[in-house]
Structure 1
Amino acid sequence: MIATILVPILVVFAFIILFTGIFTVKQQTSAILERFGKYRSIRNSGLHFKVPIIDQIAGRINLKVQQLDVLVETKTKDDVFVKLKISVQFQVIKTNVYDAFYKLESPHDQITAYVFDVVRAEVPKMKLDDVFERKDDVAIAVKRELNQAMSDYGYDIIKTLVTDIDPDSQVKAAMNRINAAEREKVAAEYIAEAERIKIVAKARAEAESKRLQGQGIADQRREIARGLEESVDVLNNVGINSQEASALIVVTQHYDTLQSIGESTHSNLILLPNSPQAGSDMLNNMIASFTASNQIGEAMKEKNAKLLAAKPKPKRKRDTPDREEETE
């Protein structure tokens, strides 16, 4: 009777001992095995056996790459408060699982403390603009400090990144205003340069137009003078002297002008004098003025000739006695 009762109990007890003596460890994980509270061994991924009740799994260590994000608020050299987000990627060294498990209680708190210490030592040396430009220097300083400190605890710092730089909201607004003002300044310079180019091009076009217009007027006047010269030669051939010929040409142009004004229906121009007798008076006046002008010119020529004739000639200097002696 007693044996019948004990057999099932022993079988159940054997199964319990068997199952408690078997355990598995996942991939990229290490298990720390202790016996009566003392370190015994480290078991990696796979199926393992332990002595039931006597051996215990003290803990498991994750061997995967982990990331810790630390938000640090500090002050720059130009007294601007800024928040930096530092991402630390770390991993437990597989050969140093013992140190990682037994030497360090809270690796996240330890890493956070070192990040705060390094960032608050490096950033106050820089101005705000330098923090944005040299954020890699901050990341390198954090990694260097963490590697020196965490390698003793079995941790390897793979990468540190400054993933965000967030100044105070008022500072960001001021920076945006400065940026907008700089862009407006550049835009104004480009607009002014475009206007200058337009003005220069317009001035060059006007100068070229004036030059061509002046050249046209000069050519026109040259042709008119040539035509007048030919007209005077023709009139001289029929017995009309130069003064009468010039006066006749002017009177002819006067009447041609009156005719062209009369042909225009919308002209308000009035040419004076325009009476029939005015042409005869103008012709007589012009002939008289040309004759008087010639007489005055001839009188001035005679006067200048007499003055030149009456002016004494300069005497030549005699040679000095020394010069004469040398000649002798």
Structure 2
Amino acid sequence: MSIFDHPDYDKHESISFINDASTGLKAIIAVHNTNLGPSVGGCRMFPYANSHAALADVLRLSSGMSYKAAMAGLPQGGGKAVIIGDPKTDKSHALMQAMGKFVNSCDGKYIIAEDSGISVADVNQMAKKTKFAGGNTAQYSIDGLPADGNPAPATSLGVFHSIQVAVEHVFNSDLTGKKVAIQGVGHVGLRLAKLLHEAGCELMVSDIFDDNLLIAEKQFGATIVSNSDIHKLDVDIFSPCALGGAINENTITSLGASIIAGAANNQLATNEMDRLLLEKGICYVPDYLANAGGIIDIHYQSIKNGSNVGLCERVAGISNTVRAVLEESSSTGIPTQTVANMKAEKILYSA
């Protein structure tokens, strides 16, 4: 099958592959759109079942980054990279530096950053071989801790603001007493749990690893549930914060929440899920609106006269974008992601 016939191909400008025998690097870089500026997006390292799964992921993730940047009002395009491998066992400095060389071959059309399975330290290794790396240095902090380039605090804050807006839209209330089921309490999900706990929410959490589950249980009073049941709970908000595809043909019939808003990319397994959620009366906050805090952070770190307060205010602006999409969906009967996509495409293709 031709790349151009791939179901997840979406007017991508370029797709590059590498198989570096000396380091074991097998990776793909997808540049979706550079109409607004160089494409920016994280690098994900994951033990994909095969190259077809890796290609599908990088195509979907890269197009989502274009839409995310457009709706966040950033002067950049969307791209993404994936490394096929287990981040717990397959990493090496040589492999990360080989990835940096691969990024360099894109001649500045793609700027790499951290994502699932890749840390700021890994990006620093890549940066030894390319100047086209972002999110590995920082001067402003969103949570009062030393700025280290990790976008997770900004991502979690943006999701928190999105949940606030959705709760106001659906329930005309604040977060006090709301029940939230968080699927995945990694770097972003655990920080989100803290923010929601401080806002007075009751938490249910799941993850494939125990460490952060125990932290959420001990520090935030969260109830630990299984990954297979988290989406079924009778809660106010379901927050997918792990990998994509949480809303699919197997889970959509048993969703127990009134609102879906989380940090995971590509939460809808297919475009049809958007319409089905609307028909079920579930308010869905499009993932690339809710989780835009990370790329906002990366961009803001390059501003010379910024501040910690300014960064927080910039991320808080996600609220206005989410509110506009939810209100337009309610007034027109068009599903929320369709509304967001139309707005993003108008920005992207009229640039």
One fold, TM greater than 0.5? Answer: no
Instruction: Please indicate the TM-score interval, normalised by the length of the shorter structure.
Output: under 0.3
The structure whose Rg is larger is: 1
Structure with greater helix share of residues: 1
TM normalised by structure 1 equals: 0.19
TM normalised by structure 2 equals: 0.17
